[in-house]
């Protein structure tokens, strides 16, 4: 029997556990050295300032990781967005099937993003983390100014926007640039191929950087537990429960409603994709479940031509669990740092993610890069990203299973839309089994 090397999620979990233990002993040791009664009533603030200084070396681990993540945000967003937009029909009409598929993907993405915002605002899981003091500061959000926002949207210098990871001007530039590339026809393919190569190189670089994630998690967890004690872990529990509750609502409420509208037998479909969903949950990879998903959709009655078109496209443009996570995680971190994002800012974030998520949703760990860009865009401390990674491995399992369900429904809906769902064939197959 061959020994299987543990994956990245395993080491992140191990480093998180070790970080909790080290942080607990550090917190206990520092607490025993301070006479809190003699410095009351500012005892807690004094202790947290002291602990933050004493444990600053651990913060260095997460700071290095965050710097590496930040350096790939702009080129990754630029290249993937340009290539993704070109795939939606930049070099020719995709036809009726492509139009219906992308229309469904856009609607599903919007629903997932809105659900993420609703859940995070309703239950406010980020406030339970309360890590603002661990960062040494509480960030005050700037008041929203419409004129400044509109002027900021249109980049004066794209190089400056890229260097500062200013996501919204980058998106606007790429939208215009992608249109221009499409307009020059065959010559534009050279540009797309170049940025496709850039995107693949940046994704490979992302994979390399993620090997530093366990150390970043260790440093971040030691710092937070050392400063706040074990009580802060309750925040993680609330974060996990709220997000999994949101995923459950999407799978058992939203998707059945969509299927009812399009007259698709959702519960029959869900029973067929149960196994691929379990595979995705166990491996934290929706792509790993793709062969089983294809088999399940064939048994459901979807035609091969529909499956072959919609399902692969869905793995780049329609990963509902990952998309919901982007708004949920970004606003949760804002809450953790005491930042009250206005309705206008959250709607802006939603529109930005509606665009940036296309072509990036299927990339492993790319959601973290997108979230890093959102944090920078709304001036939320990016230190919180390393805390998010501590539980990202668990949240990724739920996201992956939801992605499988979402793409299966997308394929079934488009099949029904194209009148290519063979219900009679399904009944015949079932009767002969």
* DSSP track, 248-290: HHIIIIIHHHHHHHTT--HHHHHHHSHHHHHHHHHHT-SGGGH
pLDDT in tens, 297-327: 989 998 877 887 787 777 767 889 988 998 9
Residue 382: inside a domain: yes
Write out pLDDT tens, residues 256-282: 999 999 999 999 999 999 988 887 786
Give the pLDDT band of residue 44 (cuts 50, 70, 90). low
SS3 429: helix
- pLDDT at residue 416 tops 60: yes
Instruction: Please state the rounded mean pLDDT for residues 69-90.
Output: 71
pLDDT over 50 (residue 93): no
Give the whole-angstrom CA distance, residue 25 versus residue 222.
9
Lowest mean pLDDT among 33-42, 171-180, 212-221, 318-327: 33-42
Work out the pLDDT band at 328, boundaries 50, 70, 90. Answer: very high
Q: Which of 271, 297, 292 lies closest to 282, judged by CA?
A: 292
Q: Which of 164, 23, 168, 124 is nearest to 333 (CA)?
A: 124
Residue 302, helix vs strand vs coil: strand
Q: What are 396-409's pLDDT values in tens digits?
A: 878 988 999 999 99
Number of domains in the chain: 1
The pLDDT value given to residue 426? 43
Residue 427 has pLDDT above 60, yes or no: no
Query: Which one-letter DSSP state was computed for residue 422?
Result: -
Cβ neighbours of 21 (radius 10 Å): 12
User: Which pLDDT score, from 0 to 100, does residue 235 have?
Assistant: 75
Nearest to 113 by CA among 320, 270, 281: 320
Residue written as tokens 């401390």?
A: 381
Contact present, 366 and 76 (Cβ < 8 Å): yes
Residue 380, pLDDT > 80, answer yes
Looking up residue 391, the CATH number of its domain turns out to be 1.10.3860
d(CA 27, CA 48): 10
- % of the chain with per-residue pLDDT over 90: 17
Q: How sure is the predictor about 251, in pLDDT bands with cuts at 50, 70 and 90? A: very high
Measured between alpha carbons, how far is 241 from 299 in angstroms, rounded to an integer?
34
Is there a domain that residue 3 lies in?
Answer: no
- Residue 2: pLDDT band (50, 70, 90) is low
Higher pLDDT, 81 or 178: 178
Q: Is residue 1 part of a domain?
A: no
The pLDDT tens digits for 355-378 are 776 655 445 556 777 788 888 888
Is residue 247's pLDDT more than 90?
Answer: yes
Mean pLDDT of all residues belonging to the chain: 77
- Compute the average pLDDT of residues 55-69: 79
In a domain, 273, yes or no: yes
Tens of pLDDT, residue by residue over 172-187, are 788 788 888 878 888 8
Q: Is the preceding omega at residue 60 within 30 degrees of 0, hence cis?
A: no
**Is residue 310, in this structure, part of any structural domain at all?**
yes
Determine the Cα–Cα distance for residues 112 and 296; give it in Å rounded to an integer: 24
Residue 134 pLDDT exceeds 60: no
Residues 34-63: what's their mean pLDDT? 62
In this structure, is residue 2 part of a structural domain? no
**Average pLDDT value for residue range 336-360:** 81
pLDDT of residue 164: 76
> Could you tell me the residue range of the domain that residue 281 belongs to?
8-432
Say if 275 falls within a structural domain.
yes
| Distances in whole angstroms, Cα of residue 399 to Cα of each of 9, 269, 433 | 14, 19, 33
Q: Are 232 and 130 in contact (CB under 8 A)?
A: yes
Q: Is 421 helix (H, G, I), strand (E, B) or coil?
A: strand
Q: What is the pLDDT of residue 288?
A: 63
- Please check whether residue 290 lies inside any domain of the structure: yes
To the nearest whole percent, how much of the chain has pLDDT over 70?
Answer: 76
């Amino acid at each position: 029997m061959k020994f299987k090397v543990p994956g990245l999620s395993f080491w992140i979990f191990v480093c998180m556990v070790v970080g909790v233990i080290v942080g607990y002993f550090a917190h206990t040791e520092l607490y025993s050295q301070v006479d809190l009664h003699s410095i009351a009533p500012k005892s807690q603030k004094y202790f947290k300032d002291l602990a933050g200084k004493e444990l600053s070396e651990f913060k260095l681990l997460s700071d290095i990781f965050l710097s590496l993540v930040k350096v790939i945000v702009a080129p990754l967003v630029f290249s993937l967005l340009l290539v993704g937009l070109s795939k939606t029909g930049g070099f020719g009409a995709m036809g009726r099937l492509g139009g219906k598929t992308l229309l469904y993907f856009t609607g599903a993405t919007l629903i997932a993003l809105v659900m993420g915002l609703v859940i995070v605002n309703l239950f406010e899981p980020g406030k339970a983390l309360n890590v603002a003091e661990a960062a040494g500061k509480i960030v005050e959000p700037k008041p929203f100014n419409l004129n400044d926002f509109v002027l900021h949207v249109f980049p004066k210098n794209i190089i400056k926007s890229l260097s500062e990871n200013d996501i919204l001007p980058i998106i606007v530039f790429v939208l215009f640039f992608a249109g221009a590339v499409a307009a020059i026809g065959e010559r534009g393919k050279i540009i797309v191929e170049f940025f496709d190569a850039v995107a693949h190189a940046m994704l490979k670089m992302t994979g390399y950087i993620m090997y530093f994630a366990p150390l970043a998690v260790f440093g971040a967890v030691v710092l937070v537990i050392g400063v706040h004690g074990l009580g802060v872990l309750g925040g993680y529990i609330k974060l996990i429960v709220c997000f999994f509750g949101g995923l459950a609502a999407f799978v058992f409420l939203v998707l059945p409603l969509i299927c009812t509208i399009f007259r698709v037998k959702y519960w029959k479909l869900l029973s067929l994709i149960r196994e691929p969903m379990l595979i995705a949950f166990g491996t934290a990879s929706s792509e790993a479940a793709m062969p089983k998903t294809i088999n399940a959709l064939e048994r459901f009655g979807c035609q091969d031509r529909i499956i072959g078109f919609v399902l692969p496209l869905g793995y780049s443009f329609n990963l509902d669990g990952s998309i919901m996570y982007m708004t949920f995680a970004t606003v949760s971190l804002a809450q953790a740092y005491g930042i009250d994002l206005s309705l206008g800012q959250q709607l802006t974030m939603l529109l930005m993610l509606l665009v940036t998520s296309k072509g990036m949703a299927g990339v492993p760990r790319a959601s973290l890069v997108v979230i890093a860009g959102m944090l920078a865009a709304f001036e939320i401390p990016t230190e919180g990203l390393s805390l998010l990674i501590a539980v990202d491995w668990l949240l990724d399992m739920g996201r992956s299973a939801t992605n499988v369900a979402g793409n299966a429904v997308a394929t079934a809906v488009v099949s029904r839309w194209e009148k290519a769902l063979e219900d009679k064939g399904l009944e015949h197959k079932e009767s002969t089994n």
